[in-house]
Amino acid sequence: MNLASRRLIYLGFFLIFIVAGSALLFYLQGFRYNPDKKEVEQVGAINLSTTPNGATIFLNGQKYSHITPTTVNSLAGGEYEVTLKKDDLQVWQKKLTVKPKQVVSASDVILWLPPQIFTPTSDNKISSVKNKTLVENNIALHKISHNNQTLLYTTTATTNNLWLLNLRSGESDLLAPPTGFLINEFNFSPSSQKILFLGQIQNKPMAFIYYLTQQKWEKVLAMEADSFDKLTWGESDDYLLKQNDDNLWLIDLGSGEAKLIWEGIVTDWKMNDNLIYLLVPQNDNLVLKIINSRNLKNINLAEPLILSNNSSFLTTRGDWLPITDETKHLLYLIRSPLKNSSSLRKLTAVTAIDWFNNNSKMIVANNYEIWEYEPLADNLNLIWRISTPLTRVRQYLNKPYLLLTSGSSLWALEFDRRGDQQRFLLADYGLPITDFFINQDGTFATVLTDTKIYQLPLKPQRTEGYDWPINLP
């Protein structure tokens, strides 16, 4: 082969390299040939993932060759109707807009179980998914632990019998209170490891603490020598706040020492970050007072906070202490530590609240709207409007879904507001739902009505044939 032939071969390889490299570069930049338009255009993609995996994908009604999780590549710009189906689970459908050089994500999509339909007089349901009725009698009192792992309840059929329901396992245990102790009220400690019981023995006020790990009862106060009108936990398991004769005392459970905090009537109080917040009557209203528990000095806000007589503190989460004024439908949030006027937030038309799992945001609801509220930034975003009154709203794990109750129905609502925002009916119990709780791994919800407690499966592995780890009382 002569020199000229070798040069032609080298030149050919060089031209092939230039053409192939350019084509590869265009390909990597998202360019594809569109045979319908007979032109080269930039394309995008849709990334899809579901719980559970393995959902069949339909794009504009056409079945795609792969299942979730996957990325659908080489899509021309435009709107696509994406449908995800698996077995008899509820169908997810949404219109997504694909743009050149961009990947549109629809991750964390949950394919919910078919809805469970009940009647007030029976547990017959329209589905094959297994469900358990935990309590058949009317519920008298109930409280959830602060870590959302334990539900304590009584029933009207067994007025002084206490049941502890483990929301992780579904196991129920009967607690036998001390002899002659008639229970009026109970509350979990801040650590959720102890329970404070208030009641009477032979018409005398009495208080006991039940230790969950040791499974033992311990009398708090010998009422023959002392008395109380109201008793609550302090900021930790080591302290109680006691009201008697219109005075408020801080009780150290370790030493038994009692420190006078406030002289006068107090309707409600809460201890947080070594500060004691008091709601004190004043001129037919309530005014907020703040006391430093260490030196007992008053801390004054820039402007007095005046509330109606139907106001109370809610559970503290993170740095924020909520106060609800039910008469005016107002919610106040006080940030700890108190620094300036920005430590106080005010929201109007609020009937229910809950916290997102990271404690940085709140779910705020009125009868017909759900809002996401970020206290630190004082930022409020609308999530959903509904035509029937809401009763409870909670985030589902750390997923982009809320579970909400309206009347007798439990729904799942997605955060994704692209296209039509979807909600999925999970159950209808035929009677108003008073409360519900989600267990830690999200496998089931414990649902309360006036007459029963149900355990509703939320994940597909809870199907017929599954051996439920539940001992019914």
Label residue 255 by pLDDT band (50, 70, 90). Answer: confident
* pLDDT higher than 50, residue 224: no
- Range in 19-28, 214-223, 275-284 the model is least confident about: 19-28
Which residue spans within 253-360 are E strands per DSSP? 258-263, 268-272, 275-282, 285-292, 298-299, 306-307, 311-313, 320-325, 330-335, 344-347, 352-355
Taking the model in full, what pTM does it have? 0.80
18-38 residues labelled b (16+ CB within 10 A) or e (exposed): eeeeeeeeeeeebeeeeeeee
103-133 residues labelled b (16+ CB within 10 A) or e (exposed): ebebebbbbbbbbbebeeeeeebebebbbbe
pLDDT at 313: 92
- Which is higher by pLDDT, 451 or 190? 190
Structure-block tokens of residue 353: 């609240």
CB 207 within 8 A of CB 196: yes
pLDDT at 291: 92
* pLDDT higher than 80, residue 104: yes
CB 453 within 8 A of CB 437: no
User: Locate tokens 């994704």: which residue?
Assistant: 416
pLDDT at 53: 93
pLDDT at 287: 96
* pLDDT higher than 60, residue 158: no
The string of pLDDT tens digits covering residues 365-378 is 888 899 999 998 89
CB 24 within 8 A of CB 16: no
User: Locate tokens 């049941």: which residue?
Assistant: 163
Calculate what percentage of the chain has a pLDDT beyond 90.
40
CB 82 within 8 A of CB 106: yes
CB 326 within 8 A of CB 286: no
Label residue 270 by pLDDT band (50, 70, 90). Answer: very high
Distance in angstroms (rounded) separating the CA atoms of residues 304 and 288: 7
* pLDDT higher than 70, residue 344: yes
Q: How many CB atoms lie within 10 A of CB 155?
A: 21
Give the residue-averaged pLDDT of 40-66.
Answer: 91
Mean pLDDT taken over the chain? 83
pLDDT at 64: 95
157 backbone dihedrals φ, ψ, rounded to 5°: -75, -25
pLDDT at 441: 84
The string of pLDDT tens digits covering residues 452-470 is 888 899 987 643 333 333 3
Strand partners, 165: 151, 172
* pLDDT higher than 70, residue 196: yes
Burial (0-12, 13-18, 19+ Cβ within 10 Å), 238: middle
Give the residue-averaged pLDDT of 111-127.
Answer: 69
Calculate what percentage of the chain has a pLDDT beyond 70.
81
The string of pLDDT tens digits covering residues 408-432 is 999 999 988 888 899 999 999 988 9
Distance in angstroms (rounded) separating the CA atoms of residues 4 and 309: 102
Give the residue-averaged pLDDT of 235-245.
Answer: 90
